[in-house]
Amino acid sequence: MDTHIVRIALRFVLITLLQGLILHRINIGGAHFNYIHLSIYPLFIMLLPVQTGRMLLITLGFVLGLSIDVFYDTPGLHASASVFTAFIRPYVLSAIEPRGGYKINAVPNRAQFGLNWFARYVSILLVLHLFWYFAIEVFQISQIFQILLKTISSFIASIVFISLYVIIFNPKS
């Protein structure tokens, strides 16, 4: 079996368990400010190779989301957000494509594209993921302020945890 596929599978298991067993239990805002939802699991979709096929990307997003839904007891909510993130990822990659384009086996990480590019890439996808998640969770346009507040609060907390993950595990492929 290819070591690259084994790394991706191990990353899937690690991120799913980290999200489901540890981050699910952390309540940063307390009882009075329940607007922070820690999400590092979209990082799995973000770190897949650039040339990953659209159907495989969406399928992996769906499996990832369902795996997280099992821990959170939210049937389909995380799956929906993960599928949306997987769907929108190629558009984000093409919007922030470097001048020379992407190499054939490129993996979107800070080692290959630099910290500024990687931070922008992760930030865009994470904001879109969180906005979709909270919009589907609330599912009322009249609650747009609450959706935006949750998105911004969760983005700030999640980007810190994603940065820690990237520093600790330093995913190069």
The secondary structure of residue 73, as a DSSP letter, is T
- Output the pLDDT for position 1: 52
Contact of 116 with 104, CB cutoff 8 Å: no
- Which structure tokens are listed for 109? 């990480």
Domain boundaries, the chain: 3-169
pLDDT in tens, 101-160: 788 778 888 878 888 999 999 999 999 999 999 999 988 888 899 999 999 999 999 999
